[in-house]
Amino acid sequence: MTGLGRFTRFGLVACVIACGGEGRDSDSSIRDMGVMDVGATDGGPQRDGFVPSEALTPEELLAASVVFGSCLNDEATVLKLVDVYFGDMRPHNWPSPYRLTDAELRCLANATDGCADVVACTGILVEESTGSCARSCTDGVWELCEESEHVRIDCERRGFSCDVERGCVPPDTTPCDRDTFAESCADGRPTRCIGEMVLQGALCTELGLECRVEEGALGDRAYCVGPEGSCEEGGEYGYYVETGTCVDADRHQMCANGGLFTRSCADFHPELSCQTMGGQGFCGFGSECDPFYLGGVSCDGSNVVVCELGRTTSVDCLSLGFTGCTSERGWSECSR
């Protein structure tokens, strides 16, 4: 292997697609499908800092990622696993209804009913469509049918407002015109016009970064940038946590929007350390497999075998309420 596998991150503010709804009535309300007690924490606008809490074990985070990743087309297990450990280190960290809280991750980790528990734990339902439907907002729940998928998201439960055309949007957003909006670093956060809404990203200093407005091909753009010198890798849509070098057994130097920065792997989770594979460093549990390669996930009977941030781990799909393991979508996951 000459380097870590690269992948494209699907849009977090786009629609989620294709979670099995077998045995469920597609005309029923999402609030009639059961709600698990996930504590007082909702899935609303994200906090600053790092996720997940150290109170969550790697076993819980892996199980939650397998469940969520097996039920949403754009959230393959590998993508979700990287997201739950490093999600707050995105270049902008825009608010998204698909970001999961510690309480929701723990709820998913204890799943026994497969994709039905994704609905119960998060208020997100994706299933095969049984007919056409118009986009709508009813009691804070966004619904649409697109191609063969039927999507419902309880925006209100997730701390967002429901917009018929745009889905779940942050509450109290200000409308804007992308052609005339001047991007800025208001309050130390990249501030942009996205989807005709003013959105603010992460507080850059909380990530060890600096907020800058720099001229680019699309005009002046606001970014969180590493302060330790220039670099060529890492960009607006990349998981820059996958690129870099190990400074020592704990610290990992990465590239964020053209600027280097260094973080302790323990900032992401106390059990992580800096690993090297193919000449590149990453925060993980080992270096026996590529943690960013979708094709590295496989089936072993009813178990899904996952590269868990550099170590190979097997998860029993049956114990999580699925029917087995499948590779039908081009990568392996639990079957619905």
| Calpha distance 109→68 (Å, rounded) | 9
For the chain, what percent of residues have pLDDT higher than 90? 40
Instruction: Give the range among 16-25, 113-122, 142-151 with minimum mean pLDDT.
Output: 16-25
Helix (H, G, I), strand (E, B) or coil at 106: helix
Give the model's pLDDT for residue 28. 35
Are the CB atoms for 243 and 291 separated by under 8 Å? Answer: no
Q: Region 45-55: what's the mean pLDDT? A: 48
| Interval 236-279: pLDDT, tens | 444 455 568 999 999 999 888 888 889 899 988 999 999 998 88
pLDDT grade for 31, boundaries at 50, 70 and 90: very low
Helix (H, G, I), strand (E, B) or coil at 107: helix
| Interval 308-317: pLDDT, tens | 999 999 999 9
More reliable by pLDDT, 254 or 45: 254
- This prediction has a pTM of 0.80
Q: Per-domain residue ranges for the chain?
A: 30-335
pLDDT grade for 23, boundaries at 50, 70 and 90: very low
For the chain, what percent of residues have pLDDT higher than 70? 77
